[in-house]
Chains A and B, each alone.
Chain A
Amino acid sequence: DGGITQSPKYLFRKEGQNVTLSCEQNLNHDAMYWYRQDPGQGLRLIYYSQIVNDFQKGDIAEGYSVSREKKESFPLTVTSAQKNPTAFYLCASSTRQGTTEAFFGQGTRLTVV
């Protein structure tokens, strides 16, 4: 079945540690996105990529890094520089042109203690 998979569903980390969230899709989509959700904030864009080996900062990229070495994969690293990393993270993919729907993963809830 085609889809987009995020793992893990829940993640706990100690403050000061980097952590990488996985996002994989087998929909042959060129575009991939990372969003963060906090209560009352809606979905805020962290990074997005339209093609392999290229990505752009979203609205809240500080403290995060990404890579896009393969079309299927767009991992997000939450670094120790991110001041408030505890949040719900959603990954999405779509065709590059943006005129078709985006598909979302199930999300990863990251808790930093």
Chain B
Amino acid sequence: ILNVEQSPQSLHVQEGDSTNFTCSFPSSNFYALHWYRWETAKSPEALFVMTLNGDEKKKGRISATLNTKEGYSYLYIKGSQPEDSATYLCAFIRGGSNYKLTFGKGTLLTVNP
């Protein structure tokens, strides 16, 4: 079983704070890394799909970076808003795995107004 680790497990921040969390994955045989946001009572929705070492992607106040050589990705949220409260999941695909999408346990973010 692949080890995809996310930290921290949960995070409470105040509205307006910037925050970041980490996804760690095996550094060998990298293929792709996905980030998803999962709000309560909804389905997970994709934020980013990253495939190249050094990739940086941005969507509004949320951005992500990727380091495949050391096996980690960071997700940043600038100026957190209460509507950013959700569980943030990363998922890893290893090369040669027949595109098996393996998720971490997620980081639960709560933004207090």
Interface of A toward B, CB cutoff 8 Å: 31, 33, 35, 40-45, 48, 50, 56, 58-59, 90, 92, 94, 96-107
Contacts and interface: CB of A to CB of B under 8 A. Distances in A.
A1 B31 CA distance: 31
Interface in B65-113: 89, 91, 93, 98-106
A107 B105 contact: no
Interface of B: 1, 31-32, 34, 36, 43-46, 49, 51, 89, 91, 93, 98-106
Q: Which of A43, A94, A97 has the most CB of B within 10 A?
A: A43
Given A31-B99, A97-B99, 11 more contacts: A40-B105, A48-B100, A96-B99, A99-B49, A100-B49, A101-B34, A101-B46, A102-B101, A104-B44, A104-B45, A107-B43
B57 to A, nearest CB: 12
B32 A98 contact: yes
A107 B41 CA distance: 10
Contacts of A102: 34, 36, 46, 91, 101
Contacts of B104: 42
Contacts of A92: 44, 101
Contacts of A99: 32, 49, 51
Q: Which of B45, B98, B99 has the most CB of A within 10 A?
A: B99
Nearest to A54: B98
Contacts of B1: 59
Given A99-B49, A101-B34, A101-B46, A42 B106 contact: yes
A101 B49 contact: yes
25 contacts: A31-B99, A35-B103, A40-B105, A41-B105, A42-B89, A42-B106, A43-B103, A45-B101, A45-B103, A48-B98, A48-B99, A50-B99, A56-B98, A58-B100, A59-B102, A90-B44, A98-B32, A98-B99, A99-B49, A100-B49, A101-B34, A101-B49, A102-B34, A106-B43, A107-B43
